A and B are shown apart, each in its own frame.
Chain A
Amino acid sequence: MTTIDTSAQTRADEVLVPAPRPQKRSFLDSTPAKVLLPAIVLATAIGLWEISVQAGLVNPITVPAASDTFIALFEMMQTEYFWAATWLTLQETLLGFAVGSSLGLVIGALTGTFKVFRTAIWPFVVAFQNTPRVALAPVFLTWFGFGMTSKVVMAAVICFFPVVINTVAGLASVDDNARVLFRTYGASTPQTFFKLTLPTAAPISFAGIKTALTLALLGAIVGEFVGAAEGLGVLVKEFNFQLEVASGFAVVVFLAVIGLVLYGLIELLERRLITWQH
């Protein structure tokens, strides 16, 4: 095939792209800075915490020293009941997340795709979204009992809404021009869904799923606070009742780590699945 020789002409549109100028990279943009500075902040915070307890600025009965907290955590990690509680809370969280976010995806997809669903369901989504859903925890305890189920339901209910809302928003974000383009190619409804709608909605929907995982942990803990025999939430409550504040704090620190790890894992999954976000 003969091609048109355009090489003699100036490629105006490329000439106009500014050549990358050697930028002065600030120290703050470098990797050492990004690790070092937060580390300094953390160390300072822990240091201030330790010093203020040791110096008697706060009551050590209500606020344990940083060192006592970490010792308590270390000791707890040698016990069986701690890991049993961790495993239970994790199960509640992940089951609640799985149920809540899958339901959220289904309801969100229906609401975002079919006008009849949108008209019928959307007002209730908005209403429930603005209701403090943790208030339902005692109700779920009555309905589903002291065991795991009431916590799974609480976690599911909390993490359901961000997924619904983000999925609907994602589906609504499909560019009208892109729809027109697909029509000119005579794309079928499934083709338009899989080649256009789904990839457009995925990043926004996934942002909701990320929020949902963090919220599921919150839901499980709240459920345990309201009434449970086991779990990390129960441990926090019990230790505080018994004025073992160092152990109570230790569990909170551990919960923070769990939250971070879960978030890290889901972000890893996001990067795997949605490679076109930048």
Chain B
Amino acid sequence: MNNFSRESLNTGKEYSRALFFLSPFIFLFSISLFQVLNLTLLQGDKYQTIAESNRIYQKSINPVRGFIYDRKGTLLAENIVQRDLYVTPAYIKDSSKTILTLSNLLNMPYELLEKNFSRGVKKAKKFDSFPLVKALNEEQIAKAKVNLDSISGIEVKATLKRYVLHEETLAHILGYVGDISFDDISRNKLLAEFQNTQIGKTGIEKDYDLILRGKPGIQTQERDVKGKLVRVLDTLGAEDGKDIYLSIDQELQEHLFKLFENRRGALVALEPKTGLVRALISSPSFNPNILNSILDTDEVESLFSNKESPIFNRAVSGQYPPASTLKPFVGLAAIENEIISWDKKIKDDGKFYVEGDPRPYRGWKENGHGRVDMRKAIAESSDVYFYTIAYDLTLSGIRPMLDSFGFGKKTGLTNFEANGLLPDKKWKLGYKGDFWFKGDTINLGIGQGYILATPLQLAMAYSGLANRGVIYEPQFIQPKDETSFEPKKAAEIQLSDKKAWEKMEQALVDVISARNGTAHKVFDANSAVIAGKTGTAQIKSILPGKEYDAIRKNPALRDHALFVGYGPVEDPKLVVAVVIENGESGSEVAAPIVKSAINFYAGGFNAE
């Protein structure tokens, strides 16, 4: 027997058993190979994507926000470097200890930092940093820089922040910017790519945000498992925002802002021939820089909780009864509908009675103005005259004229406008649950009752008077060349009697120039000739047996003072609407501002 045959015999038990016990491993080995096949070939694309998202981090490069200038190139809003203290939660071991150290170092309350920290942690991704303290002052920067190396996860970053140069003066025109909120992102997904940047929240900053904001760049980075930058793969530069030139005249704006002396009210001044807004004031105002750098201070809280609502833009969102400033339009409606002629006189003894109602509609002047025609009725602001023609016109006679002058409609100047209110029967039934009474029409005749208008709407309506029926769309953006600028028409009102425009203007000039005019007090031979109308908007109707004197004890119930006018009448340069809340007398508080605005802007007049 040779070796060979013995060997083959012996192959038996050990070898076959070895194969048997190897079989589970062979099985597992084969399954593993299939799993590799499955992962690499069948699911390879999916895992490739996951691996990419593991390593790739896209960091946005913030664009520089565009500057804002006035019509003459005066800088209104720029960006300044602000140093903020940033934290990266992933690198902080003991947050309360770090906050305590920082609170001592920066001399800031622990609770505030704690609050900012927990708020930031919720929003930020693990390796993202977020601002813990904004706008460090010089001392804090110095202290921070010396000590920061010893505190991990903390850095001082310089960022550009919006800075409005004239602060309160321009607050409502420019608005303010702020951090992107979750709401913003849910409304506009594209905003998600802007990290730690600010977007316009109100005003020009919001309306023209897309232009001012620019486009962010993207830096594609490779990061390791700890989020540490390994290398930069690609950089797509940011496209900076564009500058904007506003139609605002900063000198005029500043001059008028001072005249308000922080009284509650609003002003809109625009060029009737172009619709370019030259000044817009809402008072009291606020410092937009407080909100621009979004310091988490009590100042912000108090701004929003202030009872005088400084943030609210009264000029475009404030809705007031137009009161007697509405009379020219009611008058034109009566002439157009041939309810009355220019010279027809109506006896005004201070009271107007409707058939079957013993209660009189009273005029503002106890014993009336005597026999008045249209010119005198406008100049002296006869209520009874307008009660009479409104009664005859009825609602359907008044409404179309008011509608064509833009009452109850947004002008399109900004996104923050209120509609105002031009009531009709349907509206009253829907909102008040009642029918339209003749008394409602009578009240509408003197701009009281349900009708509401914004100062902007009043200015627009009066620009229609100045332009003999043409109203141009208002705008904030200064055209490159004013002389060749062709404004868009918002409305064109045709009167069958073209002379009606001059006649109405004459009546409006009388308001100041004629001795019997309601605003003759502000008459001044050195002033531009102004066509305008006073208004005194009642907030509370005077019940029978109650006198106004009793009501005016509460300042908040005092009448609003209005004046809307344009001038110089030979060549109207500016139309101005002013409302002073609870100012009582349009001639005393509102008219001087309008006069000053026109004289200041037209030049060559005494602007006092």
Q: Do A and B come from one complex?
A: no
Instruction: Report which A residues bind B (CB closer than 8 A).
Output: none
Instruction: Report which B residues bind A (CB closer than 8 A).
Output: none
